[in-house]
Structure 1
Amino acid sequence: MSGQWRGMAARLVADGALTAEWEPVFEGLPRAGFLPDLFWQHHVATGEVEAVDRMRDPRRWREAADSVHPLVTQWDDGEHEGPGRGRVASSSASAPPVVAAMLRDLTVRSGQRVLEIGTGTGWNAALLASRLGAENVTTVEVDTSVAAAARGALERQGLGAVTVVCGDGFQGYPARAPYDRIIVTCGVHTFPRAWWEQCRPGGVIVVPWGTRFTPTEATVALTVAEDGRSASGTFKDLVQFMSLRAQRRAVPEYADYVTTESRDEAERSATTLTLAETIGGEWDSSRLVLGLLVPDCTVVLDEPQEGQRPVWLCSVADDRSWACVLFREDRQHSTVYQYGDRRLWDEVEAAYGWWREQGRPGLGRLGLTVDDDGHHVWVEK
């Protein structure tokens, strides 16, 4: 174990992300033991992605492996080749602080059985197996090559008794149910019934949950009700995970929404809200709140041009409603154009007003309940 990894583990303990029970497990299983020779380091602060090749620069590879940054390990569902950046990141090794916090929120106890959705490199499954016993861990991965690589890494670590399944994690894995805990390592905006049905009453499900509004998500720890028909809990931390493949956030095509007719018929108005206080902050809970309150809508932020920044809101339902706000931070008002059955910016303003009236509740006061009727968001007083 490198001194860099040991030092990071100590910092995570000091920050409260890594609990005392997880500290020796974390220290004993560095992320480096589960990584391929070539990966891409994602610098969260800048958004830049850097290829790191073990064969070319082993020192840099180890430094990145033991860093706090998330690492992309596959692009474009395995179709991408070479050291360049692909189009869509499709598998990764999550940032250690996020991994530690989610394991903390899972509140596992000795002897419990855990289902993981999204095996990835196998590192998270290995941490669970080291703490609970490999025979108590089942992990599901949709990608055949990713599952095979993870299985090999687990065997090299002496944890080959972990059950690695290649399949659709959205269906869970009923063959080994019921589980005491379920942990999901991919972002979702639709919560499948299979997960709470395969978890024991009183069990905990930790999942990065978000909306189609923006990529911003939040982890939530849901406790399964005693009757097994629902699960409920509060949001924990803002995150951005790769989406479950069937739920990837598609960027709308401009031509599908903004036709000559819709441009001519769009209603013009103005808003005093700014981009920064609504949807401009990538790590701001307002993005999550607005997404919860303005359903079936996605946001596209254009590059600034001529002193203004166009922001598009598109309905992902069949109605093709859209809105465009030309934000001007140097003016009191910004111009708004809206078209379709929905007035999407009006919905955003109403949602923002509600959030402000509630005292701008953060994640600790916002909760989620899932049942057969869908998802329900609530605010703790």
Structure 2
Amino acid sequence: MGGEGLVGRRAGLDAAMEDERAWPAGSPWVREAMAALPRDAFAPERLWRWDGRAYVPVERAVDPEGWAGELFTGVHDAAVTQVRGGLPSSSLSAPAVVADMLDSLRLEPGHRVWDVGTGQGWTAALAAWRAGPGRVVSTEVDEGLADFARARLAAAGLDAEVVVADASGTGVPGGGQVDRLHATYAVEAVPWTWVEAVRPGGRIVYPWGRLGHVALTVAEDGKSATGWVQGLAQFMADRRGPAPTPAGHAAYTAVRGTAEPDSERLLKRNLAPLDENWDLRFALRVAVPDVVLLTGRDEDGVNAWVHDGDRSWAALAARGDGTVALYQGGPRRLGDAVAAAWDEWEELGRPDRYDYGITVTPDAQWAWQCSPNGPRWPIAQPAP
């Protein structure tokens, strides 16, 4: 696709961000940076499209319109840039999420920034545009991606360092502390080394597990970090951690297999909120974080399927009369766990996603509702 076509695509994305009110009013620099450093300037020549069965390559040289379409689908859509073993392993994140996370970072000129997970280098570039020359260091475990990002950063005339390193258990490359840490891949628990890497009063913004992104502020004594959920986001998982639990129906079928339920009962419950209410979905994610929840509709209403990626599963089938048949199997009663977490959310007054936060200490991490001293749910610590 020629330059004129890309200019139009960029203008369309800018307008769509405006229409969706996705440009952060408190950080007007984000819009300026994205105009100066458009996402297509950091996209590889091959992108990947889901065709309903598998990810297929979209080559810029062969299908320039299709390639540009993958980049500029919508403000909430990521562009898959790498596939391994049939699954996405890197992407250019959705523009609206990138803007929201950079706004949450509260980045100022002169700040020293650790960008964790370079990928194609776009977020490192945006941070460098704001922070200034020599103020951003980015780490990436994939040497090929690191090389690609270095080339794109250099082509954009930006002075930002890219280091091949695993950020999960090390300090800032070059030593010392940074003012801001921005992670581009999802972690369930924050490595304590990240907190140690950020000065007291500094900010850590990261995608939290399967859903949501969080902004933490490091305490003045450096012994904890705490902060609020900023919004919903789905990112690639940490490559060095356990494999993410697949989210599709095939994963549920793999867990259940041909097993018959060993527990059956009726519930009086309307499952429609599971399909429609993302605040409820987020509350369930907080209370039962390892559970994958799927929904679907038929003539009797909304149905749900639940699994933990291991051996436990549950199916909730609407009966069309205001009741639901709950079938469960495996060592855990996941349907009961989801129902109990739903009841707890109701008892708490149906809080929304922005009513939750996270606290991190050297020995424990937990999610909380309304305040760090309010209702809390433990987060499993990362392995050493």
TM-score band by shorter chain is 0.7 to 0.9
Q: Which residue of 2 aligns with 1:24?
A: 32
Q: Find 2:232's aligned residue among 235, 238, 260.
A: 238
Q: What are the Cα deviations for residues 127-183 of structure 1, in whole angstroms up to 9, with x where unaligned?
A: 111111231101111111111111111111112x31111121222543333010111
Q: CA deviation at 1:33?
A: 0.9
Q: Which residue of 1 aligns with 2:82?
A: 74
Q: Which residue of 1 aligns with 2:63?
A: 57
* Partner SS state of residue 140, structure 1: strand
Q: Equivalents in 2 of 1:323, 1:333: separation in Å?
A: 20
Matched, 1:4 2:9: yes
Q: Equivalents in 2 of 1:41, 1:253: separation in Å?
A: 23
Q: Which deviates more from structure 2 when the two are superposed, residues 327-336 or residues 110-119?
A: 327-336
Tell me if structure 2 keeps the 8 A contact 1:223–1:233: yes
Tell me if structure 2 keeps the 8 A contact 1:312–1:323: yes
Q: Equivalents in 2 of 1:341, 1:226: separation in Å?
A: 44
Q: What are the Cα deviations for residues 268-326 of structure 1, in whole angstroms up to 9, with x where unaligned?
A: 21223344323x35x7132221121125x32264888997856133375xxx5x34224
Alignment of 1:253-264 (within 5 A): 263=260
5+ long unaligned stretches in structure 2 = 1-5, 372-384
Aligned length: 354
Q: Equivalents in 2 of 1:304, 1:12: separation in Å?
A: 31
Q: Equivalents in 1 of 2:350, 2:53: separation in Å?
A: 28
Change (3 A) 1:16 1:305: closer
Q: CA deviation at 1:337?
A: 2.7
Tell me if structure 2 keeps the 8 A contact 1:187–1:241: yes
Tell me if structure 2 keeps the 8 A contact 1:267–1:338: yes
Q: Equivalents in 1 of 2:293, 2:283: separation in Å?
A: 17
Q: CA deviation at 1:192?
A: 0.9
Tell me if structure 1 keeps the 8 A contact 2:206–2:215: yes
Q: Which residue of 2 aligns with 1:366?
A: 356
Change (3 A) 1:60 1:250: closer
* Partner SS state of residue 22, structure 1: helix
Q: Equivalents in 1 of 2:28, 2:50: separation in Å?
A: 28
Tell me if structure 2 keeps the 8 A contact 1:238–1:285: no
* Partner SS state of residue 52, structure 1: strand
Change (3 A) 1:118 1:7: same
Q: Which residue of 1 aligns with 2:314?
A: 324
Change (3 A) 1:364 1:116: same
* Partner SS state of residue 91, structure 1: strand
Q: Which residue of 1 aligns with 2:280?
A: 286
Q: Give the residue type in structure 2 aligned to 1:228.
A: G
Matched, 1:36 2:44: yes
Q: Equivalents in 1 of 2:118, 2:83: separation in Å?
A: 16
Tell me if structure 2 keeps the 8 A contact 1:140–1:173: no
Q: Equivalents in 1 of 2:286, 2:271: separation in Å?
A: 18
Q: Equivalents in 2 of 1:312, 1:60: separation in Å?
A: 35
Q: CA deviation at 1:339?
A: 4.5
For normalisation by structure 1, the TM-score amounts to: 0.82
Q: Give the residue type in structure 1 aligned to 2:266.
A: A
Tell me if structure 1 keeps the 8 A contact 2:252–2:305: no
Alignment of 1:1-381 (within 5 A): 2-12=7-17, 15-18=21-24, 19-41=27-49, 51-68=57-74, 69-76=77-84, 87-159=86-158, 161-174=159-172, 175-210=174-209, 215=210, 217-245=211-239, 246-251=241-246, 263=260, 266-278=262-274, 280-281=275-276, 284-295=278-289, 297-299=290-292, 301=294, 309=303, 311-314=305-308, 320=311, 322-328=312-318, 330-339=320-329, 342-380=332-370
* Partner SS state of residue 183, structure 1: strand
Tell me if structure 2 keeps the 8 A contact 1:35–1:121: yes
Change (3 A) 1:107 1:255: closer
Change (3 A) 1:337 1:124: same
Q: CA deviation at 1:190?
A: 2.0
Change (3 A) 1:293 1:158: same
Q: What are the Cα deviations for residues 330-375 of structure 1, in whole angstroms up to 9, with x where unaligned?
A: 3422222334664322221121111112221112211111222332
Q: CA deviation at 1:202?
A: 0.7
Q: Equivalents in 1 of 2:254, 2:106: separation in Å?
A: 48
Misfit runs of 4+, over 4 Å: 46-51, 251-260, 302-310
Q: CA deviation at 1:255?
A: 6.8
Q: What are the Cα deviations for residues 46-92 of structure 1, in whole angstroms up to 9, with x where unaligned?
A: 9996743211233443454344331101001xxxxxxxxx6210011
Q: Give the residue type in structure 2 aligned to 1:312.
A: V
Q: Give the residue type in structure 1 aligned to 2:358.
A: L
Q: CA RMSD in A?
A: 3.1
